Structure 1
Amino acid sequence: MFITNNLKRLLFGLCLVAISMQQGLNAQIVIGTPNLGFTQACANENFNSFSTTFIFSPETGLYPSNKFSVELSDSEGDFTNSVIIYSSTPGSITTSPATLEFSLPEDTSGENYKIRIVSSAPIATSSSSEAFAAYYKPQDSPFSINHLVSSAAFCTGGSYVLSIDNPGTGNNDSPLLYPNLNFKWYRETSPTTFEYVAEGQTLNVTTEGTYFARTDYGSCTSDSFSNRVSIIEVTSGEANALIVSSLGNPYCPGEGTTTLSTLVGNTYQWYKDGELIEGATSQMYQTNESGIFSVQVDLGDCSANGSIDLVSQLFESSIDVPEIIDTLEGYPLEINIIDNAISPQYSWYLDGVLLPNVTGPTYETDVFGDYTVVISETSGCVISVEYNFTIQESVDFFPDVDKIPNVISPNGDGINDTWIIPQIYHIEDTNTEVIIMDNKGNIVLKTISYQNNWPEVDLNLSSVNQVYYYIITTEDKKTKKGSITVVK
């Protein structure tokens, strides 16, 4: 019985060893080198998905709890401090070949990254992939340098500092808001080529040229680049301070005022057509006019001057009536607009109401009121010009009265304010003389062309009623005499 029990124990132990050996054989798998589904990994917030395909063998060597993971090296291909950037769910991958999708960490930036595949049950690691460029681009849009001023200058022996604008405001998504980014500066060597100059957030320029900056995303294409700035070396008085119009030149005033800007200096003075513009002492000057604008820029040890012949696309126009038109009732007036607009449209208004049937440059009317005419250019630069005028009933200074009045009341009420005599004494070339004297015999008016306008000034009456005297003598020496009582 003792021998039989020992034999059973031996046989049981041999079975356990055999099972363990079989399990050990099943726990060995080999993972092939991962193949990349891309040539370079250029990610941003809108796109960050990449794939890799690999094979493994044998398929039966996987435990049900196995996970496959993608491991990312540092930017030099070293896995010492590698990170897991994807792991499959346990048991989800059981057949070979397999494909995994992964995303890049937001601090990814370099040209020599590698990945490898790691299994958890059993534990196995593939060889590393081919090296590839990988960048996560948190900022991928144009940005500004030099506050968008396209020109700058430095005095001979000096320098000029270009810098990336910060903070990001308006349309400027400043890359300085992303602290992990690096920048490279370039100088144009031709309209289509450029050379690398330096790295950093600023650039100290000592050589003339056109410069710009780019966010360093290596071999990945990117829209994260700056405007160009042309920098010149200045000997005092020789430099041209380039002036740029924000709306171009010619410019369309329908888009608002245009901003003239020049190179950066210490002080500025702007001129128009050779005349100093009071208060125009900033780097920028806004205008909606045409003319020759110039600027003087103090650069410290030297100075620069510049000018621009600014042309507005505003069409020329005129109207052939004054702002106030006095006329008598029943006498129609013709108003004409003259302009050189390419495709003009005319809108006429009376007391703020559109006149729907008046659409041409000429309008005839005998209606009193406040008028507005708007000329609109409908082709190219779409702009409008407005004219305003008033047609009012005029005062008849020479009414046909029957007799010479002997009472007036100059109180400003528009009734009997002046001494109005019959029209016969106003007939042209009659050489009728009119004399008015005060009660002491002093002449207060003497004329041979009386305009029915006495008194033109305050008479400073000393009593309620004051008497003046008149003498009217016609060319044939006929005389009319009488008195004029001025009622206070």
Structure 2
Amino acid sequence: MNRPTTHSKKTFFFFTFLMCSIGLMAQTLNKPTAIANPNFGTGGSPWTAVCASSTFNEYYVNFKWSASPSVLSDNTFVLELSDATGSFASPTALTTVTDKNSTTDFDIRFEIPITLRGTGYKLRVKSTSPELYSPATQAYNMYYIDYKNPIQITENGSGSIGDGTISICNGSTAIIAVDNVPNSETYQYIWRKSSTILSETGPSLTVSESGMYSVEIDYGSVCSGSAGTLSNMITVETGTALGVTINTPTKTSYCEGETASALEATIANSDIFYTWYKDGTVVQAKAQGSYTYAFDTNDPDFAGAYTVKVEGDGICAETTPALSISKTGAFTVTENTPLEMVILPGESKTLSVTSTAVSPTYQWYKNNTVISGATTSTLAISEEAEYYVAVSQGGACPSSLNSNKINVVAPSSFELIANYTTTYSDCDYSEIVLDVATINAVAANGSKTDVTADLKASMSYQWKKDGTAISGATSSSISLTDISENGSYQIDATIESFNTSSNSLPVVLRSNELITIEASSLVACNSTDFITISTNVDLTGATFGWAKDGTIIDTTSLDLNTTDAGTYRLMVTRNGCSIPSNEVTISPLDESLITLDSPLNIVFPEGGSKTITASGGTAYEWRDANNTSISNSASISLTTEGTYTLTAYVGNCVIIKEVNVSYKDTFKIPNVITVNGDGINDLWLIPNSYSYQADVNVIIYNDKGEEVYNVFEYQNNWPESSTGFTSQNMVFYYKIKKGSDTIKQGTITVIK
């Protein structure tokens, strides 16, 4: 439980003192209890874990409290959620109830945040007046399943599956990684080698052993299976490498344009396939026998790390260590000032560059003409023009490199362009940020130069709404978050003696009101049973429309009654903007909604059993051939042949399925044995469903009803000798019991 703040403590102690002073006891808040979703009809089971998604995020708890004394009139009840460890140090308010101050037993509907993933979440209820907390619930698995598609895994997350096989050699390793899940590093995963779960939980797996590997997102023990994220399978093969490398050439550094020797693999075999790479990118496609590669030094980008991958029948695929080829005398030039600049009247600026050249020399140019004496890395300017510098380096590979051109303008005015920082349309957003997007310097001839990077931080600003200056809004951007801020926005800017105003931006935000609808059932049973769709908002006097499959079908009904399948949404108009509710999808009744993990006709040996599990329903009932109810769970274990009826509920709808069970015709329990020592039929051999079973008791009686043999886990070894049989044909009786039930009985005639 959270510790109250100092102020809250004072309030709590004062309230407690007051209550005690007048001889009353404080309320008792019971912990909330998980219950079935009432929208799915009666007979459902309480939820045991939360597996929410964009298509379903609706759960209920029941809450009880004592009303002696009553809470204060301004009280609200708040359903709070802990963090993933069960701590309420910073609880999340899931929903607030304001109309139950005189109701001591009520249900609370809630949705979980879309960021929730974990196994230790707890719930509690808080009352605000007086401030009290209920006990916390047990810890629950709660997952918002925001990614529910099959995962793709590839070597190094390359996205290329190939034949689905990775070869690793000589005890080395390879990396298998997820490559199609957005923000893959934010999830935890279940990696498997065949059926064995591995300890790694991240989006990649380092493997060194052969096997078949797969992965799925870990949405907890309850939710993972329903998400359907199981990946493709990667087969890892291990073997012995050839030990191929790249022969070290006589030179590994070349001047641009210099003649270079071809690279050559140490194993040259016309039957092997070779693929050449530079910095991990293919530069010579896979080809048989191509064990050499000639790089072109006339290509300015020839320097890099070269490798070759070898593959072939009967060998282990391997990639050589990298061989680095460098460019002699390569250097860079970096501009330290924007490439578009403004110079104001009477102002001077300094241009500068940085170079990695060894002992560089500089020569600046203005409008492509040499500036006499401008031979350092900086240049002071006071005129508009186009400037650049040529940097030269001598040595073994003399070369020269020009900087990018820097355009300096002296404006006669400025153009200021404001824009929305994200995509914007009226009524589509509840908040928006406006910003200075572009500053153009306008020359006397009307030409424009974008100088945003140079001047945006140097100007002074003032935002206006509907022509009136907004107090304190003097930065280059403004954030709008409420419908009261709707209007037309413009920004003024000043620098030196220049003043300019931007274009106008209309802003029409919609209310961030949360409108929720829910249906009395999510399955349309027939054309006569109505489903009621209701909302949490009062529609009296409001402008609204109920939409089905994107089309408005009703603009007057406060609750919508329907018998039709489809996707429904409520659109409520506030301040000229239409606010959409969540979507509710009503599906048509389809018997395939209920599935069994077994065929409808089942055969197993007498004495055996079969467990059948149904899925797709909200409640279940199993009945035997006598129409006697035998189970109300999704699963049932059948041990006796006959016809069984499943009544499955999908919301308020009913689907009935019949399962027929019959015994497999196996060998029977023998009633005659011959103990003459010929090795044939000397022992009483019974089926394995009864023999060798630790919970099965075999008892044998003589013709007087006296017990002569009693054993569990019968080894098919009676009689152990023939000496105890005094007459030619002796009759014995047997019982085979499981627990208190006799599952088989009969006679055994022993012929001596």
- The two structures have a TM-score, normalised by structure 2, of 0.27
Structure number with the bigger relative contact order (C-alpha 8 A, sep ≥ 6) is 1
TM-score normalised by structure 1 residue count? 0.41
Give the greater-gyration-radius structure (CA). Answer: 1
